[in-house]
Structure 1
Amino acid sequence: MENKEPELKEEERQKCEIWTRIMGYFRPLSVFNPGKKSEFRERRYFSEEKALTPAEKDAASRAKEPSPSDKP
């Protein structure tokens, strides 16, 4: 089976609005002033999973497992 890229005519396209959470509420990026747009582009994202040490990952996985006393 061929993996083909979908083809759309320009009039079939729809603008994709990007929303982000700033100061406790969500706002569309299109209403940001130039300074806030620049800050948004400079943001760095991280994965909590990648940030944990092996010991922290082990402790987190043990915390998710039900204890024997929790089973009926």
Structure 2
Amino acid sequence: MSQITLALRQAPQSERFFRWQSTVIAAFAGASLTAALLNLGAVMAFALVRAALGRAKPATKQIACHV
């Protein structure tokens, strides 16, 4: 068994994937599926807003520099 374990390498995970994986595990740690789905929906909405704000910030900085 130890030879098989040594032969298998773990695939490197990016930090973002690890965060999503831990978020999904934490969401499903609760007792109800409804609560887990609501938690995942809230996390996804937060991620979308954060990404949109991240894209908007450089544009506003660029406009501010030209004015």
Query: Fold-level match, TM-score > 0.5?
Result: no
Give the structure with the larger helix fraction.
2
Higher relative contact order (CA 8 A, sep 6+): 2
Larger radius of gyration: 1
TM-score, length basis structure 2: 0.31
Question: Is the strand fraction higher in 1 or 2?
Answer: 1
